């Protein structure tokens, strides 16, 4: 799958609401590192265990491959390393620490060690929290209030950053849908249905 197709599929799946980070991640390269001895480039081992568990719960395997089957977790790690600003990385790590602390206080163990039901319950809680935070931050975004939208080529430094869950969800979905396995075997888009004569 080429990058143009990857962007098109990702836009269709996410409803044309992809962020600049996601577009940049896709344009910088679609394939995660598939080597055996791979280690995370941005997250430490414990943080990556949490990210991996989150990605698994966002897109678990069914009759189609899950996000971990196509290494979307590695895509998330590389996309964050390559495309977030230092202050955004710092904020994401702060929220990840809070997320892990919530798992510890709620279940007495790390998020990666929780059962599927516990992981899903915590993700739902954080998804609701993320939605409320994002809605409030975006509603308060001044250029939007004045109907004076900034140009895409000149991002506004005051634009709100997406909360942890929204960032991970968006990047996991993008990593999933731009993977070669999903693009060729699951989506298999046929622009001209029927036979060619």
pLDDT in tens, 23-63: 555 545 545 666 778 899 999 999 999 999 999 999 999 99
Q: What is the pLDDT of residue 163?
A: 82
Q: What is the pLDDT of residue 185?
A: 83
Is the pTM for the entire model greater than 0.75? Answer: no
**Average pLDDT of the chain?**
79
CA dihedral sign, ordered 21, 27, 31, 35: negative
pLDDT beneath 50, residues of the chain: 16, 27, 30, 150-156
């Amino acid at each position: 799958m080429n990058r143009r197709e990857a962007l098109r599929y990702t836009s269709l799946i996410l409803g044309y609401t992809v962020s600049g980070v996601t577009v940049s991640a896709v344009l910088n390269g679609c394939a995660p590192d598939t080597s055996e001895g791979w280690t995370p480039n941005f997250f430490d081992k414990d943080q990556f265990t949490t990210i991996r568990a989150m990605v698994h719960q966002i897109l678990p395997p069914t009759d189609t491959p899950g996000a971990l089957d196509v290494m979307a977790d590695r895509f998330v790690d590389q996309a964050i390393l390559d495309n977030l600003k230092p202050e955004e990385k710092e904020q994401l790590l702060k929220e990840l620490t809070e997320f892990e602390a919530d798992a510890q206080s709620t279940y007495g163990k790390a998020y990666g060690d929780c059962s599927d039901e516990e992981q899903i319950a915590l993700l739902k809680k954080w998804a609701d929290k993320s939605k409320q935070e994002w809605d409030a931050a975006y509603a308060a975004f001044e250029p939007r209030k004045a109907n004076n939208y900034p140009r895409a080529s000149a991002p506004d430094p005051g634009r709100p950053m997406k909360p942890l869950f929204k960032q991970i969800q968006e990047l996991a979905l993008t990593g999933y849908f731009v993977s070669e396995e999903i693009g060729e075997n699951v989506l298999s888009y046929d622009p001209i249905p029927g036979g060619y004569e």
